[in-house]
Amino acid sequence: MTKDECKQVVLEIIADIAPDEDLSNVKPDVRLRDQLQLDSMDFLDIVMELRKRHSIEVPEKDYMQLASLDSCAEYLTPKFNALPAKS
């Protein structure tokens, strides 16, 4: 998975948990919280959807790593690539 694909995965999750947000212009280097109305309940949902859909675990101490799309990609891409290949 590339970092761009990883950002896409995160955007898809946000689109599902916050269908009322416009995601067409999300800036990758700006904190998600600063450009979208996401609260702590929504961030918890991003973490749980990552686990549910992709078996990716994000421990609580790493939640800050999900602040922006860039930091998500930085942090999550290696985790995606470390998953056992899907058969």
Which residues are near other proteins by CB under 8 A? 16-20, 37, 39, 41-42, 44-45, 48, 51-52
Kindly tell me which of 27 and 51 has the beta carbon lying closer to other proteins: 51
Q: Tell me, what DSSP letter sits at residue 25?
A: T
Query: How many whole angstroms from its chain centre is CA 40?
Result: 14
Residue 29 CA to residue 50 CA, distance in Å, equals 21
Residue ranges of the alpha helices (H) in the chain?
3-17, 32-35, 40-54, 69-82
- Residue 80 beta carbon to other proteins: minimum distance, rounded to whole angstroms: 20
Kindly tell me which of 12 and 39 has the beta carbon lying closer to other proteins: 39
- Residue 4 beta carbon to other proteins: minimum distance, rounded to whole angstroms: 26
